[in-house]
């Protein structure tokens, strides 16, 4: 029986509750073994593709963060059923491609850009109307980037000024297949168009000048979609055959490298640390942070490299290291796009200067991550210069940051800012006070628990 009550209990509202401030201070070395929760991108896609397959898809290791629960809630509102049999153990009974039903209420996407943009893609080729709402952070984020290609496919949108939520859309049946070259390096836009293409007659193609995370491509093939990827003049051409039929799958979700990132950096910058982080996804389109931190002198060993659910995975043994500032090549940005906030923390403790550039996309994440991190790190005593498309950071060469005294870090409902500044607090003299820990539950509900566990 679908168990709605469990999902609702998991989902503490972000905006209506009062903020939960917290001071993060040095906890001593991080040691022992931890296991990070399931990958957020793969968890969203497991639910969505399962909801489009006919029959039962079984998922283990699903991330039960608020963002993923928002996706599950929306899919149930459109006719799929989900069951939760234990922690991270879910099964989904899908409606078949083309079978989504019109939701009776607005779809509340909370803080989740991935849920919103991918579901907009799905709905674009169904003959249904849906409204999307979200929290203050999500309601400020640009949706024009998906509205544009999906309108070309025939969907209609009425958005708030500036192409933002709340918005209402009506899909087109049949939709029109398109060939679309991505104007921004975005896996969400790529995926939205490919998902719309599933229920569109003919072939829908996305041209990707810069490769972004490829979970949609891998998983759609696994579910039986006819999808091809060709490299032409250095660009990826991804084509999906429409009127697809998806067959249910059994999926094991690997650990999220974007969540592991906080513990990798925490162990590198905390003296005496020697931490084993188990089950970390290391898909090449996601593993940029490990490459950059190793270049900075980080002692990160890949142990027991293997495949989980069709994705490369390893355990990471991370030891405290003397980091060296570097110039980060902007070409690596898409493979670590969510990890820059915590890289900026690592750079603040490194020896010498770290420069980053080509990071305009960080300004339209859950917050403007360039300005939020520059302000936050300066408040904690780091030396940071904010440029239009990156930060320049003069590191302390391992000397703990002073920390925040009177000031409280404003996290702007951004989970990754909250966790990054918590990590900065570990390497500070006086601790770092952040204004609100609630958003952490969007992607990493067990973050504080694991931090306490690894430091004891
Ligand atoms: C995601 C893609 C990225 C990333 C986000 C998850 C995905 O967003 O920042 O956290 O699952 O496709 P963009 O596509 O906006 O870069």
- Which atom of ligand 1 lies closest to the CA of 40? 11
Active site residues: 338
- Identify which of 38, 41, 189, 339 to mutate to test ligand 1's pocket (most ligand atoms within 8 A of the CB): 41
In this prediction, residue 456 carries a pLDDT of 79
E strands along 156-310, which residues? 156-160, 164-170, 179-181, 203-208, 227-232, 235-241, 250-252, 274-281, 299-308
Average pLDDT rounded to a whole number, residues 425-435: 97
Per-residue model confidence as pLDDT tens digits over 334-362: 999 999 999 999 999 999 999 999 999 99
Average pLDDT rounded to a whole number, residues 228-257: 97
In this prediction, residue 37 carries a pLDDT of 97
Record the pTM.
0.96
Average pLDDT rounded to a whole number, residues 132-160: 98
- What is the strand order of the sheet 235-241 is part of? 179-181, 203-208, 235-241, 227-232
Q: Is the pLDDT of residue 10 over 90?
A: no
Q: Which residue has its alpha carbon closest to ligand 1 atom 5?
A: 114
CA of 258 to the centre of ligand 1 (A): 11
Residue 229 Rama label (left phi>0; alpha psi -120 to 50; beta): beta
**pLDDT band, very low/low/confident/very high, at 206 (cuts 50, 70, 90):** very high
The ranges of the chain annotated as CATH 3.65.10.10 are: 22-39+254-454, 40-251
Show the ligand 1 pocket: residues with CB < 6 angstroms. 41, 114, 186-188, 191, 213, 337-338, 361
Average pLDDT rounded to a whole number, residues 431-452: 97
CA 100/CA 113 separation, integer angstroms: 20
- Identify which of 186, 220, 238, 362 to mutate to test ligand 1's pocket (most ligand atoms within 8 A of the CB): 186
Query: Would you identify the CATH topology of the domain 40-251?
Result: UDP-n-acetylglucosamine1-carboxyvinyl-transferase; Chain (3.65.10)
Q: Which of 99, 103, 155 is nearest to 133 (CA)?
A: 103
Contact 347, 377 (CB under 8 A): no
Per-residue model confidence as pLDDT tens digits over 23-68: 999 999 999 999 999 999 999 999 999 999 999 999 999 999 999 9
Q: What class is the 22-39+254-454 domain? A: alpha beta
Tokens describing residue 417: 């800012």
- Which atom of ligand 1 lies closest to the CA of 45? 11
CA 94/CA 105 separation, integer angstroms: 20
Q: Which of 82, 76, 36 is nearest to 59 (CA)?
A: 82
**CA angle at 251 for the pair 92 and 7, rounded to the nearest 5°:** 40
């Amino acid at each position: 029986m679908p168990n709605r009550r469990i999902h609702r209990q998991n989902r503490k509202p972000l905006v209506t509750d009062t903020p939960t401030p917290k001071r993060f201070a040095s906890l001593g070395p991080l040691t022992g073994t931890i296991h990070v929760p399931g990958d957020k991108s793969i968890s969203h896609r497991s639910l969505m593709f399962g909801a489009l397959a006919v029959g039962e898809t079984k998922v283990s290791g699903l991330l039960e963060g608020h963002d993923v629960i928002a996706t599950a809630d929306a899919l149930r509102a459109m006719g799929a059923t989900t069951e939760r049999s234990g922690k991270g153990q879910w099964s989904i009974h899908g409606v078949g491609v083309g079978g989504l039903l019109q939701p009776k209420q607005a779809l509340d996407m909370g803080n989740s850009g991935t849920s919103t943009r991918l579901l907009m893609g799905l709905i674009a080729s169904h003959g249904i109307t849906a409204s999307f709402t979200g929290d203050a952070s999500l309601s400020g984020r640009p949706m024009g980037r998906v509205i544009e290609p999906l309108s070309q496919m025939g969907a209609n949108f009425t958005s708030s000024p500036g192409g933002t939520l709340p918005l209402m859309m009506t899909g087109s049946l049949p939709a029109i297949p398109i060939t679309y070259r991505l104007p921004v390096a975005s896996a969400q836009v790529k995926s939205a168009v490919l998902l719309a293409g599933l229920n569109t007659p003919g072939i829908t193609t996305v041209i990707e000048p810069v490769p972004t995370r490829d979970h949609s491509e891998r998983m759609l093939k696994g579910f039986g979609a006819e999808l091809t990827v060709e490299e032409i003049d250095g660009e990826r051409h991804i084509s999906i055959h429409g009127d697809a039929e998806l067959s249910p799958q059994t999926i094991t979700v690997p650990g999220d490298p974007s969540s592991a990132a906080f513990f990798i950096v925490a162990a590198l910058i905390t003296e005496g640390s020697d931490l084993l982080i188990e089950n970390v996804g290391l898909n090449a389109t996601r593993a940029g942070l490990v490459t950059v931190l190793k270049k900075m002198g980080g002692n990160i060993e890949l142990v027991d490299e293997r495949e989980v659910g069709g994705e490369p995975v390893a355990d990471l043994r991370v030891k405290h290291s003397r980091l060296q500032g570097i110039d980060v090549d902007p070409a690596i940005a898409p493979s670590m796009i969510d990890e820059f906030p915590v890289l900026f923390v690592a750079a603040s403790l490194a020896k010498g200067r770290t420069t980053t550039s080509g990071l305009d996309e960080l300004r339209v994440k859950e917050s403007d991550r360039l300005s939020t991190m520059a302000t936050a790190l300066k408040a904690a005593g780091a030396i940071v210069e904010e440029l239009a498309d990156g930060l320049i950071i003069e590191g302390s060469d391992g000397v703990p940051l002073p920390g925040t005294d009177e000031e409280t870090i404003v996290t702007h409902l951004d989970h990754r800012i909250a966790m990054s500044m918590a990590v900065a607090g570990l390497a500070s003299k006086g601790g770092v006070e952040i204004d609100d820990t609630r958003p952490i539950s969007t992607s990493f509900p067990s973050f504080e628990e694991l931090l306490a566990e690894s430091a004891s």
